[in-house]
Amino acid sequence: MFFNWTDRIVFPDNIKIIFLFSHSVYLQVTLICSPLDNQLNKSKQEVISEWVMSFSDRLYSRALFQTKSVVAAEDIVQDTFLAAFQGFEKFDKRSKPDTWLFAILNNKIIDHHRKMSKSASIDSVSGLKAERTESDFFNEHGEWRKETVPLEWHDSDEQVLDNPEFVEVLTNCLGKLPATWHSAVLMKYMDGTNPEIICQELEITSSNYWQVLHRAKLQLRKCIEVNWFNSDRI
Amino acid sequence: MKKHLTHFVLLSCSRASLLIEKKSASPLGVVERVQLKWHLAICDGCKKYEEQSIQINSWLKSLNERTTINVHSNVELKDRLISTIKNKN
């Protein structure tokens, strides 16, 4: 019953060679890939359980850092792993699992902040976490406004992080950023996540990416300056 | 008009500070690089902005390393997660 369909049709020789060649390439590819396949053939449960063992502490610490609530942090980490379980097929096996998990975590943290700001009074949404625009920092010619032009920072080296009060100021200033900006800054400058993942997870267009980071940095810089370096000048 | 012209050649501060942020991630194009260099030569505010922006990046990086060192281990959470995942299909 078996017959090679290529035998039935007369092909010119060069086409036959292409068939043979492509077959040998296929064999080589499968031979090279087979040991990798075995490694990837672990069940979804096994892989995700390994991820829990390796990364849950770091994820939990980050969630705790951003939400300041044990209950919320635990819920967020749990939701993150459940989302990873459900979306496991979407995970690109060549990329690092922790980068992917942190991206999901950030998304969950943003959801959490959204829920919180909905239940909080309107004031805290429009007031503290207001998205500053460029015109808050620059005049119509694009020059620094008198009240926003960067001032000299004294003793602003790495050692200042040893001061818990400064860490508190820095953390509070990060917390005052709108949720999406907050996550963008953390992903970019703390995790070194690549821009495509940041845009995808935070639903920012790539043309808005630098605009978001720029405004977030402007606001963060200003907040640190007012609250730490020049607390007498507002 | 004069302002427009100088900003075209030497950039405005809002554009310069955006380029400073971009520069920390990837090299700028030749024109942008020269424009930014000239701008920074004459603009004190942006020069400070650049120093401080780099400093903030490095704080955030170290803050992350420090929070990673002070990892809060939550064994109960880990166990709960593992059993939830094992029971899933």
**What residue numbers bound the domain in which B32 lies?**
2-47+56-86
Which residues of B lie closer than 8 Å to A, measured between beta carbons? Answer: 3, 7, 12-15, 17-18, 21-22, 25, 45-46, 48-49, 52-53, 55-64, 66-68, 70-74, 77-78, 80-82, 84-86, 88
| Separation in Å, CA of B14 to nearest CA in chain A | 5
pLDDT number for residue A135: 86
Say how many C-beta atoms besides its own lie within 10 A of residue A122's C-beta. 9
Residue A145 is given by DSSP the state P
Farthest-apart Cα atoms in chain B, separation: 71
Residue with the bigger pLDDT between A124 and A163: it is A163
pLDDT number for residue A93: 82
Contacts of A157 in chain B (CB under 8 A): 55
Domain boundaries, chain A: 11-40, 44-119, 125-229
Which residues does residue A144 pair with via DSSP β-bridges, in sequence order?
A: A138
Average pLDDT over residues A130-153: 87
- CB-nearest to B72 from A61, A141, A150 is A61
ipTM, two decimals:
0.82
Q: Which CATH class is domain A44-119?
A: mainly alpha
pLDDT band at A231 (very low <50, low <70, confident <90, very high): low
φ/ψ bin of B71: left (φ > 0), alpha (ψ from -120 to 50), beta (otherwise): beta
Q: Does A167 touch chain B (CB under 8 A)?
A: yes
Q: Does A88 touch chain B (CB under 8 A)?
A: no
CB-based contact A53 B88, cutoff 8 Å: no
Q: Which residues contact A29 (CB under 8 A, 6 or more apart)?
A: none
The structural domain count of chain B equals 1
Q: Which CATH architecture has domain A125-229?
A: Orthogonal Bundle (1.10)
Q: What is the DSSP string of A181-215?
A: HHHHHIIIIII---HHHHHHHHT--HHHHHHHHHH
Cα gap A21→A43, rounded to integer Å: 35
3-state secondary structure of A43: coil
